[in-house]
Structure 1
Amino acid sequence: MKEFVVNPTETGDLSKLQRLMDSLKGQDGRIILKPGQHYSGPLKIPSHINLHLDEGAELLFSDDFSLCPAVLTRWEGTECYALRALIFAEDSSGITISGRGTINGQGARWWSSYRNMRKGLVSREVKEVQERLIPLNREIGGGSGGGGRETGFLRPSLIQFKNCSGIRIEGVTLKNSPFWNTHILYSRDVALENLSFINPYDAPNSDGLDIDSSENVTVDGCRFDVGDDCLCLKSGMDADGIRVGKPTAHVNVKNCSMEHGHGAVVIGSETSGGISHITVENCRMRGTDRGIRVKTRRGRGGTVENIRLKNLEMDGVSAPIVMNMYYRCGAGEDEAERLASLEIPEIIERTSTPVIRDIVIENIHAKNIRSAAAFFLGLPESPIERISITGFTAESEEDRPIEEPAMDLFHTKTASPAIMRAFVRNSHFIDIKIDGQTENILKPIFQEIDE
């Protein structure tokens, strides 16, 4: 194996690391960053490279927007062109990122530019990005999530592995991503161990880890403290996701801690390719809006099934468990009536009707909650099927405000921390205690619905 030892670099040579990686193409190689600050432009990593950061080493990426090339990727569930991730690999294998150092995306300029653009203040640098990307995406339709694909300012993730295998990231701290922190896309056989995903609480669209149409992924001993969802499982959105048809499957999340953020472990809302055989166990969740969250809606399609949630501790999580098939974020006003209907549609498009089934929940303890203890809202044409909860205790926060549990199309709120449900079939709830009560803890979301 060929090895390079790299001492701290000056800001003027942003291509040094890329030149070293290019020189190692076709062979096994290791690049070791010694303690201190290392400045770089975006990196494309070839196969069989180990990028190692010694403790005290910090890899800082330039916030010059013009350095990021456009690449065909998936942006919030739709294939399109966006700015390439700061660390990127495609069609590669055998890549390792390791050590006790820090990878810093220096996202502050990206975040402020995005916020200003949303206010109508578009800088010259943002316009240049839009001029590059909008023509490339002119023929691409479909909806957009909170990242604003329609604006043409599609920020880079900190790390993206696309169509890769045999990937390992261990030990390092990943912080201040311009967009999502780490995006595993169309990849398999990935191990993520003892990582810290850190973004400010107010950084826009700053998910910690997004596992997207990928299989055989292990997430072990990681810490999440981010401004958006901590860990997300996705598989494409609407017609484009159905076209691609790649599932996320066989993912094991264990021994992790999640703080702040909108959700601790989130499935969806991009479910079109299907998500299955997911285990989340022995994790701690503190101060997130939701604990476990599944979200989808009509038109999205995909089957979410064979999910096991076990041995989870939650503190200050507003709603511990949410499964919502009337998710409202990104829904257009012109389609709201159809999406919000409580009637079975006259024509059911099976490929675009989502399914949630076979969920096993065991030994969940939540305290200081501020909304429903659990919330299950299926569709009349596709009820949530076969939920089993055994051993679930929840305690509400004293003098709690009433908070919305699910971001559903009905803006549902609850005055008591019950298990709320509608359009749910073949469910079993055993050994449940909410605020010390074991009786009258199941409540219908819609009083007029007879389940």
Structure 2
Amino acid sequence: MKLFPKLTNPHVIGVIFLVVLLGLQELKVTECRVISEYDEKVEYYSAIDCRKHSAFLTDFGAVGDGKTSNTKVFEYAIRNLSQYGNDGGSLLVVPPGKWLTGSFNLTSHFTLFLQNDAVILASQDESEWPSLPVLPSYGRGRDAPNGRFSSLIFGTNLTDVVITGCNGTIDGQGSYWWDKFHKDELNLTRPYLIEIMFSNQIQISNLTLINSPSWFVHPIYSSDIIIQGLNIIAPIDSPNTDGIDPDSCSNVRIEDSQIISGDDCVAIKSGWDQYGIKFGMPSQHIIIRRLKCVSPDSAMIALGSEMSGGIQDIRVEDLTAINTQSAVRIKSAIGRGGFVKDIFVRGMNLNTMKYVFWMTGSYGSHPDPSFDPKALPIISGINYSNVVANNVTYSARLEGINGDPFSGICISNVTIHNVGNKLQWNCSDVEGVTSNVYPKPCELLPEKEGKFDCYFPDDKLPIESVDLKTCSFVSGLLF
């Protein structure tokens, strides 16, 4: 009898990588608790705010058979509950079952809660996905130049929104969209799984997200965001399935999550070429910690490539990657403009990597030919410390731009084992210093006398001081 299936399915391979990554330990995804007393069950969870009113999706006639469309039910339920926005807010509970739905919109002062064994299943009927205009900081869709499909779970101009659960699942059923992408049959850009725009006070936590049509979690033009306790899984060859992409966002906390992806596990963005420059909203004041990543063809964390509104004050610590192309990668190009500066990374444990350090000044994808060839990005103040890497092909590929070098690079306390090539450091148009780094860095990053640690800020970002409240609801009751 065969103990394992033939390892040709990327999804199966990815799950096995995740088990290895976590050291064969049980996933810790949530702190929700269920307490039964007689005929009532009280379910506890953590959130930025608790709600006075609650209802179950089934109270509005939903059918959880995985076949019946519940798009109108979600829309009606959320519209009905929105009346409580100024009276303590509302909670919509998705109970166990498979709840097929197309895109639906959230409301303010609202919590969407998925109980254990609840699955929101994305429809593959395009008629259930409304179209939206292109994003102003992008100027066109990523897959097609015109509009884009609304995300499965969408919201704009909201305040105080929570998407959480007791490890419920949101399944994007992305294979339909990936196939159309590969066949170049898309007239609109693929939907994301979750997108929140022009909003503040956002929490996305304690869920399993699988098989998004494109990016999984995309907060954009928003602030005061907590993303934690997510398990994000897509086949490692699925196109553009980034895990978490804060885009022109500020005051963001991403933590305690595991991601298997066909693209970057986390990508910080801020608009594309002339459109991002004009929109001018940077991504800033972001902390990423205790992240675990598998992405053989992409980065654990990417800064860019769409970074034309600027990226600054990014703090990254306590990361683990296995079978991932690179760790924290900077992607930019002539025409991007903008900046990537004040980047602080410490504590990375890397296993089976192509590159430990990778910076690119020639990531040349552009929305259209109208970009300004004189718009040069500024890349400066990039700090890495306390890195251990094993089974590495190249230590570093650092390529700035001729006449526009990447400057202020600091790398300290790095040990890279089991290297695969004699030329370990490939550097051009970069400036900086190193300390206690093995193997020896390139001449453009000389060893500074006396050991030192690259700088990491001591102060806390405001989002780090936000404590979650313990909230509860009674199963089966509307109150």
Deviation at 1:316, TM superposition (A): 0.6
Look up the match of 1:358. 381
Contact 1:35 1:57 (8 Å CA) reproduced = yes
Deviation at 1:70, TM superposition (A): 1.1
Deviation at 1:6, TM superposition (A): 3.1
Cα distance in 2, alignment partners of residues 312 and 202 from structure 1:
24
Judged with a 3 Å threshold, the aligned counterparts in structure 2 of structure 1 residues 430 and 93 are, in CA distance, closer, same or farther, namely same
**One-letter amino acid of the counterpart of residue 366, structure 1:** A
What SS is found at the alignment partner of 1:242?
Answer: helix
Deviation at 1:428, TM superposition (A): 1.1
Deviation at 1:263, TM superposition (A): 0.8
Cα distance in 2, alignment partners of residues 12 and 58 from structure 1:
13
Return the match for 1:9 from 50, 54, 64.
64
Q: How many residues align?
A: 377
Contact 1:201 1:227 (8 Å CA) reproduced = yes
What is the TM-score normalised by the length of structure 1?
0.79
Is there any run of 5+ residues in structure 2 with no aligned partner, and where?
Answer: 1-51, 142-146, 446-479
Cα distance in 1, alignment partners of residues 364 and 190 from structure 2:
24
Cα distance in 2, alignment partners of residues 348 and 12 from structure 1:
52
Look up the match of 2:77. 20
Deviation at 1:395, TM superposition (A): 1.7
Cα distance in 2, alignment partners of residues 265 and 188 from structure 1:
20
Look up the match of 1:283. 319
Return the match for 1:84 from 122, 142, 150.
150
Cα distance in 2, alignment partners of residues 13 and 179 from structure 1:
22
Cα distance in 1, alignment partners of residues 240 and 249 from structure 2:
21
Contact 1:94 1:167 (8 Å CA) reproduced = yes
Cα distance in 2, alignment partners of residues 326 and 114 from structure 1:
25
Mapped pair 1:432 → 2:437: yes
Return the match for 1:66 from 120, 127, 145.
127
Residue by residue over 1:342-379, the C-alpha shift from the partner in whole angstroms, topping out at 9 and shown as x without a partner, is xxxxx983xx11010011111011111112x1222222
What is the TM-score normalised by the length of structure 2?
0.75
Query: Which piece of structure 1 moves more, 382-391 or 301-310?
Result: 382-391
Look up the match of 1:112. 179
What SS is found at the alignment partner of 1:109?
Answer: helix
Deviation at 1:75, TM superposition (A): 8.8
Mapped pair 1:209 → 2:209: no
Cα distance in 2, alignment partners of residues 188 and 71 from structure 1:
22
Contact 2:136 2:275 (8 Å CA) reproduced = no
Mapped pair 1:46 → 2:103: no
Q: Counterparts in 2 of 1:146-161, with a 5 A limit?
A: 153-161=188-196
Deviation at 1:264, TM superposition (A): 0.6
RMSD across aligned C-alpha pairs, in angstroms? 2.3
Percent same amino acid among aligned pairs? 27
Contact 2:273 2:367 (8 Å CA) reproduced = no
Contact 2:102 2:152 (8 Å CA) reproduced = yes
Look up the match of 1:34. 95
Query: Which piece of structure 1 moves more, 224-233 or 29-38?
Result: 29-38
Contact 1:77 1:234 (8 Å CA) reproduced = no
Mapped pair 1:422 → 2:420: no
Look up the match of 2:442. 442
Deviation at 1:74, TM superposition (A): 2.6
Cα distance in 2, alignment partners of residues 74 and 288 from structure 1:
30
Look up the match of 2:281. 246
Is there any run of 5+ residues in structure 1 with no aligned partner, and where?
Answer: 131-152, 340-346, 401-414, 446-451
What SS is found at the alignment partner of 2:363?
Answer: coil
Mapped pair 1:393 → 2:415: yes
Contact 1:79 1:240 (8 Å CA) reproduced = no
Mapped pair 1:95 → 2:161: yes
Residue by residue over 1:211-245, the C-alpha shift from the partner in whole angstroms, topping out at 9 and shown as x without a partner, is 11110110010111011111000111111111111
Judged with a 3 Å threshold, the aligned counterparts in structure 2 of structure 1 residues 189 and 79 are, in CA distance, closer, same or farther, namely farther
Mapped pair 1:375 → 2:408: no
Deviation at 1:13, TM superposition (A): 3.9
**Which structure is higher in RCO with an 8 Å CA cutoff and minimum separation 6?**
2
Q: Counterparts in 2 of 1:112-191, with a 5 A limit?
A: 112-117=179-184, 122=185, 130=187, 153-191=188-226
Look up the match of 2:353. 317
Cα distance in 2, alignment partners of residues 354 and 416 from structure 1:
31
What SS is found at the alignment partner of 2:358?
Answer: strand
Contact 1:76 1:270 (8 Å CA) reproduced = no
Contact 2:236 2:261 (8 Å CA) reproduced = yes
Judged with a 3 Å threshold, the aligned counterparts in structure 2 of structure 1 residues 331 and 38 are, in CA distance, closer, same or farther, namely closer
Residue by residue over 1:224-276, the C-alpha shift from the partner in whole angstroms, topping out at 9 and shown as x without a partner, is 10111110001111111111111000010001101125111000111110000
**One-letter amino acid of the counterpart of residue 396, structure 2:** A
Look up the match of 1:145. none
Query: Which piece of structure 1 moves more, 71-80 or 26-35?
Result: 71-80
Deviation at 1:289, TM superposition (A): 1.1
Cα distance in 2, alignment partners of residues 328 and 300 from structure 1:
9
Judged with a 3 Å threshold, the aligned counterparts in structure 2 of structure 1 residues 104 and 424 are, in CA distance, closer, same or farther, namely same
Cα distance in 1, alignment partners of residues 119 and 425 from structure 2:
46
**One-letter amino acid of the counterpart of residue 9, structure 1:** G
Contact 2:57 2:92 (8 Å CA) reproduced = yes
Contact 1:209 1:232 (8 Å CA) reproduced = yes
Residue by residue over 1:367-423, the C-alpha shift from the partner in whole angstroms, topping out at 9 and shown as x without a partner, is 11112x1222222322111111110111235xx4xxxxxxxxxxxxxx425232222
Cα distance in 1, alignment partners of residues 291 and 318 from structure 2:
7
Contact 1:249 1:278 (8 Å CA) reproduced = yes
Deviation at 1:331, TM superposition (A): 9.6
Query: Which piece of structure 1 moves more, 211-220 or 29-38?
Result: 29-38
Cα distance in 1, alignment partners of residues 118 and 254 from structure 2:
24
Cα distance in 2, alignment partners of residues 290 and 191 from structure 1:
25
What SS is found at the alignment partner of 2:75?
Answer: helix
Contact 2:284 2:311 (8 Å CA) reproduced = yes
Look up the match of 2:267. 232
Contact 1:175 1:198 (8 Å CA) reproduced = yes
What SS is found at the alignment partner of 2:183?
Answer: helix
What SS is found at the alignment partner of 1:216?
Answer: strand
Mapped pair 1:304 → 2:340: yes
